[in-house]
Chains A and B, each alone.
Chain A
Amino acid sequence: MSVTTGNPVDATAIRPFMIPRVPDGELEALRARIAATRWPDQETVTDDSQGVPLAMVQELAGYWAADYDWRRCEAKLNALPHFVTEIDGLDIHFIHVRSRHEEALPLIVTHGWPGSIIEQLKIIGPLTDPTAHGAPASDAFHLVIPSLPGYGYSGKPRATGWDVPRIARAWVVLMKRLGYLQFAAQGGDWGGAVSNVMGQQAPSGLLGIHVNFPGTIPPDVATALQAGAPPPASLSADERRAYEQLAILYAKRRAYSSMMGTRPQTLTGIADSPVGLAAWLLDHGDSYGQPAAPVTSAVLGHTVNGHLAGALTRDDVLDNITLYWLTNTAISAARLYWENKLALYNAVSVSVPAAVSAFPGEGYQAPRSWTERAYHHLIYYNQPDQGGHFAAWEQPQIFSEEVRAGLRPLRK
């Protein structure tokens, strides 16, 4: 990426950023690598219980090598305003779209893993230009969509220490640097963690947060889960259901997180194998399966087990994976897990106004009872009908409605 360097004052300016045009040779090389993939035998089960199924990866790889077009994604990205600025010694990339409605609420929206800014592209229109999407002008947002440190077009940290609290502080610096004295924060996955911590740090100017990745597990419940115990008898039906979802997560679906949390550099080879990278990134589950059910449906091009891909397409999935490949951020992204000391689903203690959307396909659907205990000033709680872990990506319309409704109370 071309970045002007010079004296420190320049580096901390907001610098326009062009998505670099990837040389043809690099795209050719990627296609050649995919085509030369050496494949394992098929899994010995007929479901996803041993990992991302061979048929799914081969289907994706076949399309990726032959018909997928990164230039389309490049053009889509370049149609948006990108910037970079140095914060706390690291270049932070972000998309910044101002609404034409001047009174719009400034909002910083953060992605997670295995995601990127690609996840948020379809909510930009609905959130910044609501009247074109069936919503009132009063629900408009100015959007700031950063790439996390070590992800996408942001810089890769060269020293340890870029944990969630540091990212949260950097995001406040970013919003202030953009001239936003008052703003809100939104996020899912790591973005949810960042937004939660921003809520706990309660910097001046932060009006409130919206998360679709709430941290709500009460301590005694967390202890029981760790021990693999049966659900405590005192749980309500909603809480019991959440407990059972979490038990499955802990038993079967957290290996990727454990691996990246302890040995990210050992995964060095996913920087060398496109298919290896794709499989690793596909292995984030939701409450329906692992890979996340809508991702499976999107990749295979038909609805599997009734779990709609929604707006998510195979091209979207490959835009995201290809971004990791081209920016060589597989391992730098993994390092965020190593930096993190927080149990992300455990109860936070947030006193700033908070809006929570508990999507049915998220790893666990946080019950209202737990949510109220963690978010002391809960201004909105809803369980949408559809949408999973990648809510903004799968269901941009529903997601946008949730963000509008959730943060509406913050507007004057």
Chain B
Amino acid sequence: MSGETEIRPFRVDMPDEAIADLRRRIATARWPSRELVADRSQGVQLATVRELARYWTTEYDWRRCEAKLNALPQFTTQIHGVDIHFIHVRSKAADALPLIMTHGWPGSVIELLEVVGPLADPTAHGGRAEDAFDLVLPSLPGYGFSGEPADVGWDPGRIASAWAVLMDRLGYTRYVAQGGDQGAGVTDAMGRQAPEGLAGIHLNFLRDALAGGNPPAGSSAEERAALAAITAFKTGGFGYFLEQATRPQTIGYALLDSPVALAAWMLDHDTDSYEKISRAFIDGQPSGGLTRDHVLDNISVYWLTGTGASAARSYWEGGRAAALSAGQARPEVKLPVGFTTFPDEIFRAPRSWVEKAYPNLIYFHEAARGGHFAAWEEPELFATEIRAAFAPLR
């Protein structure tokens, strides 16, 4: 195997000093004055971040997260000049369907850890052996343990082609792909590129409806509700998106230098996840898998790998790609598509919108619970969705 296509085993091993430095920075954090409202309408509430900071320095244990990661087979391999980190779990089941699952922002592979068991080892999680998957969980370029691109151009299309290279390099000749948030953008691009071997995709986020222009007008109550939710998000919750899409370096300085800056920034992705995370810290009431420790596992990955700025840059890349391809027709997704609408997502994608975007829709379901970080909050339910979506493709 040539050096360039080599797949190298990987372990996470942060130096003690890095963890001590993190704690010191949090302990000496300088706080602004409190928000002037009693809710989240001016942003992440001071009390929430302070409580998160307290827990982070006093009770949180990074080594536990490290151990959890290192219990899984991790690797890196260089693709298109960037080191790509990934978790690779081969199921013990025969005929397991290979699946590459892509996280988003402000997430990481941490979001997907609890679905590894249910998907790779279904019989131990109330599922059937014939629903087993081999799992490939990459870290997006510029995120987590993957390398940071040094040049422009790492848009969802390039990432999608890198993922096809990865699956090929792993010897998979037939596989499926899944993604939410930024991962949905990448997975959608894979669907349009239709690399040899890709048999179908599943998404839990309809990126076009949010990032693009106006969603298709509609008269059903669902469509109106979704449109209203998108409008509300773009009116009041779009700040981080615009900042990262146009000025990622500017916010990047704070994200690298201050753990509380990073934490506050990452908590503000959407109303639902903020409320859930805030409740976990303030009231001690986590929502499913979105526990204090898991939230801090994720934020700590961003901090310790110093990827706050490079992750933000992926929005800039997405914006640039959209601008460059504006007005051009994209290839259709002819491959089979499965879609799950989670009820607490930024907007509930109606079936009509999904059908319009993906004419070859083989699976559509509205799950009972879960929001933007569906896999993280509801791993069992999420796994059920994935199994059901891909069952027809086995």
Contact = CB atoms under 8 A, between A and B. Distances in A.
Interface string B20-51: 00000000011111011100001111100100
B242 interface: yes
A331 interface: yes
A265 B247 contact: no
Contact of B33 (A53, A156, A259): A156
Contacts of A328: 30, 32-33
B82 to A, nearest CB: 12
A375 B43 CA distance: 36
B237 A262 contact: yes
A268 B46 contact: yes
A111 interface: no
A381 B229 CA distance: 45
Contacts of B242: 254-255, 258-259
A263 interface: yes
Interface stretch (A89-97, A212-220, A272-280, A347-355): A272-280
Interface string B51-72: 0000000000000000000000
A2 interface: no
B45 A265 contact: yes
B152 A283 contact: no
Contacts, number: 185
B36 A335 contact: yes
A202 interface: no
B260 A338 contact: no
A269 interface: yes
B158 to A, nearest CB: 13
Contacts of A79: none
B246 A252 contact: yes
Contact of A265 (B42, B235, B245): B42
Given A158-B36, A255-B243, A279 B254 contact: yes
A44 interface: yes
Interface string A229-271: 0000000000000000000000011111011111111111111
B240 interface: yes
A16 interface: no
Contact of A263 (B30, B42, B49, B250): B42
B338 to A, nearest CB: 34
B336 interface: no
Contacts of B148: 41
Interface string B233-260: 0011111101101111111111111101
Interface string A100-134: 00000000000000000000000000000000000
The CB with the most chain A CB atoms within 10 A, among B246, B257, B263, B308, is that of B257
Interface stretch (B109-117, B309-317, B350-358): B309-317
B150 interface: yes
Contacts of B306: 38, 40
A332 to B, nearest CB: 6
Contact of A273 (B46, B246, B261): B261
Contact of A255 (B49, B239, B308): B239
A37 interface: yes
B253 A256 contact: no
A290 B246 CA distance: 11
The CB with the most chain A CB atoms within 10 A, among B240, B261, B267, B310, is that of B261
B302 to A, nearest CB: 12
A269 B253 CA distance: 10
The CB with the most chain A CB atoms within 10 A, among B29, B36, B37, B237, is that of B36
A156 B152 CA distance: 42
A44 B313 contact: yes
Nearest to A158: B36
B250 A262 contact: no
A332 B149 CA distance: 36
B151 interface: yes
Contacts of A277: 254
Contacts of B254: 267, 269-270, 272-273, 275-277, 279-280
Nearest to A39: B256
B265 interface: yes
Contacts of A271: 30-32
Interface in A325-339: 328, 330-332, 335, 338
Nearest to B252: A40
A256 B239 CA distance: 8
Contacts of B256: 38-40
A77 interface: no
B32 A332 contact: yes
B309 A283 contact: no
Given A268-B44, A269-B265, A271-B30, A262 B238 contact: yes
Contacts of A265: 32, 35, 42-46, 264
Contact of B258 (A256, A262, A269): A269
Contacts of A223: none
Given A255-B243, A331-B33, A266 B264 contact: yes
A5 interface: no
A266 B240 contact: yes
A-B residue pairs, 6 tightest by C-beta: A269-B261, A276-B254, A51-B249, A265-B43, A40-B309, A51-B250
10 contacts: A37-B257, A51-B248, A51-B252, A52-B253, A255-B245, A269-B255, A272-B29, A272-B254, A275-B254, A276-B258
Interface of A: 37-41, 43-45, 50-54, 57, 156-160, 252-256, 258-273, 275-280, 282-283, 290, 328, 330-332, 335, 338
Given A40-B256, A266-B265, A331-B32, 11 more contacts: A40-B249, A40-B306, A57-B253, A258-B238, A262-B239, A263-B44, A268-B260, A273-B254, A279-B250, A282-B250, A331-B33
Interface of B: 29-33, 35-37, 42-46, 49, 148-152, 235-240, 242-243, 245-258, 260-265, 267-268, 306, 308-310, 313, 316
